Homo-oligomer: A and B are copies of this chain.
Amino acid sequence: MNDPIVLAYSEEQEQFRDVVRDFLSKVSPESEVRRLMETDEGFDRTVWHRMATDLGLQGLIIPEEYGGSGASFRELGVVLEQMGAALLTAPYLSTSVLATGVLLRCGDDSARADYLPGIASGETVATLALAEESGRWDLEDVETRAVRGNGRWRLNGTKNFVLDGHVADLVLVAARTASGVGLFAVDTRAGGVGREPLSTMDQTRKQARLDFRDAPARLIGAEGSAAEVLPVVLDLAAVALAAEQVGGARRCLEMSVAHAGERVQFGRPIGSFQAVKHKCADVLVEVESAQSIVQRALWAASEPGDDLPVLAAMAGSYCSDAYVRAAAENIQIHGAMGFSWEFSAHLYLKRAKSSELLLGSAACHRRRLAGLLGL
């Protein structure tokens, strides 16, 4: 490990971060977040295309040969932090982390060539469908079946909690065959896929329930390859989500500090009271700690090495807790206003709590970590 290098963003990364932040402040102000979260689609296709064409965000970690820019996971982290801070409502985690992650690691050049350019260009919204009734992202719980007949695969079963499943053009589905659980690409326009949006607590991230009835599918990689591919993809997703969480937590802290410095009660800014000041200090400590973990974890996600599982579990546990704490304290510091619909603090709490439950709770991450550490 070469820690000192890991823990500071490079100058280029910081410039890139500023570009992304400026872009998001224009295309995803709070008013847009609120508009989009009330829509069925939940994102703005024009903005989605500009993300791809102006900044190349969807193709960030896609190799140049497939139309991307071949950047590392560290640059992806920079983007996700800013998206988390802005509560961007768009199918980015699903498309550019989950689906892209599967395609990059599936060992199937032909699938890569067929799908990645569309993702990079902003044409294709894609996602991964793994969890079923239990909601757990666990291969053991997969009951959806893939059956081959007349040279074509067809899927039957139900996937639940599919991120952006209601708008995805391409769904990568984990389905069971005789050789174990494999990965299958389903074109949602090709029929056989019923989609039902879920009503989510976090309105800024949409989820859906997908019913596959003899849905035509294409095998990605080898049969039964999910056991090899998905654990890595889920670790990467945990790191990506953690970057988003840190970005959100830091924004909550900034909101708290700004309010505490301005709001006067009992003849003083409330931030001069230790009850508020120390709350902010404690949140600062957690945000900085979370940031340190995320930067280290992004490094692990960028380089070959065997420390990714430990760092993903660490990041998943710590950043989930830190974000929920920062979002809850932000409401508290804002008082009745923080609790009101009109002010944005509640949107962050809902995002924070839902993010914690998305890929397994903080406690689940710790249980996994105990195993990895031999404790």
Listed stretches A117-125, A235-243, A270-278, A319-327; interface member: A270-278
Q: How far is the CA of A274 from the CA of B277 in the complex (A)?
A: 10
Residue of B nearest to A276 (CB): B274
Q: Which residues from B are CB-within-8-Å of A273?
A: 274
Where chain A touches its partner, the secondary structure class is: helix
| Number of residues on chain A facing chain B (CB within 8 A) | 4
Within 8 A of B (CB), among A222-276: 273-275
Minimum C-beta distance from A275 to chain B (A) = 4
**Complexed CA–CA distance, A274 and B268 (Å):** 14
Within the complex, the shortest CB–CB distance from A332 to chain B, in Å, comes to: 13
Query: What's the nearest-Cβ distance from chain B to residue A270, in Å?
Result: 11
Q: How far is the CB of A232 from chain B (nearest CB, A)?
A: 36
A273 to B273, CA, bound (A): 8
B residues in contact with A275, CB < 8 Å: 274-275, 278
CB distance from A274 to the nearest CB of B (A): 4
Residue of B nearest to A275 (CB): B274
Q: For A274, what are the chain B residues with a Cβ–Cβ distance below 8 Å?
A: 273-275, 278
**Nearest CB in chain B to that of A278: its residue:** B275
Encode contact with B along A125-148: 1 for CB under 8 Å, 0 otherwise.
000000000000000000000000
Chain B residues positioned under 8 Å from A278 (CB to CB): 274-275
The smallest C-beta distance from A285 to any residue of chain B, in angstroms, reads 15
Q: Could you list some 6 contacts between A and B, CB below 8 A?
A: A273-B274, A274-B274, A274-B275, A274-B278, A275-B275, A275-B278
Top 4 closest pairs, chain A to chain B, by CB: A274-B274, A274-B275, A273-B274, A275-B278
